[in-house]
A and B are shown apart, each in its own frame.
Chain A
Amino acid sequence: MAAAVDLNRVKKELKDCNKDPETSGIKAELVHEDDYLHWKGTIKGPITTPYEGGIFDVDILLPNDYPFVPPKMKFITKCWHPNISSDSGAICLDILKTEWSPALTIRTALISLQALLSAAEPDDPQDAVVAKQYKEHHQEFMKTAKFWTETYAGAQAGDSEKLEQLMSMGFEKAKCVAALSKAKGDVNAATEALLSDM
Chain B
Amino acid sequence: MDLILPTADGFAGYLKVGGASNELLALRVVSARSDTPARFEACPRLRQLLEGQSEAVDQRLRRNSDDVAGFLAELGELVERLVRVEPPAALPPAAFYELIVRDLDAVGWNLVQSVSAALDELELLVVDGAGRGHTLGLVLPADYPHSPPKTRVSLPSPFALRWLAPAATPSLATAIEQFQAALARHQLLWDMLDDLDANTWVLEPKKPSREGVSRRLAIGSHSSLELELCEDSPASLPVLQFLGAEKVVAPLRHNLNARLSRWHPGRTVRANLEDVLLLQLPPPQEAGAQDSAESYAIECAICYSYHLEGAAPEIACDGCSKPFHRSCLSEWLRGLATTQQSFNRLFGECPYCCAPVACEAS
Contact = CB atoms under 8 A, between A and B. Distances in A.
Contacts of B308: 3, 6
B331 A6 contact: no
B305 A2 contact: no
Contacts of B163: none
A8 interface: yes
A68 B329 CA distance: 10
A102 B301 contact: yes
A102 B305 contact: no
A9 interface: yes
Contacts of A13: 304
Contacts of B13: none
Contacts of A68: 302, 331-332, 335
B302 A67 contact: yes
Contacts of A67: 302-303
A195 interface: no
Contact of A6 (B301, B305, B351, B352): B305
Contacts of B305: 6, 8-9
Contacts, number: 34
B351 A101 contact: yes
Interface string A130-170: 00000000000000000000000000000000000000000
B331 A103 contact: no
Interface string A12-24: 1100000000000
Chain A residues touching B, majority SS: loop
A42 B24 CA distance: 63
A87 B22 CA distance: 73
B61 to A, nearest CB: 34
Residue with the highest number of chain A CB atoms closer than 10 Å, among B301, B303, B352: B303
A13 B299 CA distance: 14
Chain B residues touching A, majority SS: loop
Size bracket, chain A contacts: 10 to 19
A63 to B, nearest CB: 12
Nearest to A69: B335
Contacts of A69: 335
B304 A9 contact: yes
Contact of B304 (A3, A12, A101): A12
Nearest to B335: A68
B303 A9 contact: yes
A187 B302 CA distance: 51
B328 to A, nearest CB: 8
Contacts of B331: 2, 68
B303 A103 contact: no
A8 B352 contact: no
Interface string B298-321: 000111110011000000000000
Contact of B351 (A2, A9, A103): A103
Contacts of B328: 102
A144 to B, nearest CB: 39
Contacts of A102: 301-302, 328, 332, 351
Nearest to A9: B304
B352 to A, nearest CB: 4
Nearest to B329: A102
A107 B128 CA distance: 50
Contacts of B304: 6, 8-9, 12-13
A151 B303 CA distance: 40
A6 B331 CA distance: 13
A12 B297 CA distance: 14
Interface in A59-118: 67-69, 101-103
A102 B335 CA distance: 12
A115 B304 CA distance: 26
A103 B355 CA distance: 13
Residue with the highest number of chain A CB atoms closer than 10 Å, among B304, B305, B351, B352: B304
Interface in B266-307: 301-305
A67 B303 CA distance: 8
A57 to B, nearest CB: 26
A103 B332 CA distance: 11
B352 A103 contact: yes
B303 A8 contact: yes
Closest 6 CB pairs of A and B: A9-B304, A101-B351, A103-B352, A6-B303, A102-B302, A103-B351
12 contacts: A3-B308, A8-B304, A9-B302, A9-B304, A12-B304, A67-B302, A68-B302, A68-B331, A68-B335, A101-B352, A102-B351, A103-B301
Given A68-B335, A69-B335, 6 more contacts: A8-B304, A9-B305, A13-B304, A101-B332, A103-B301, A103-B352
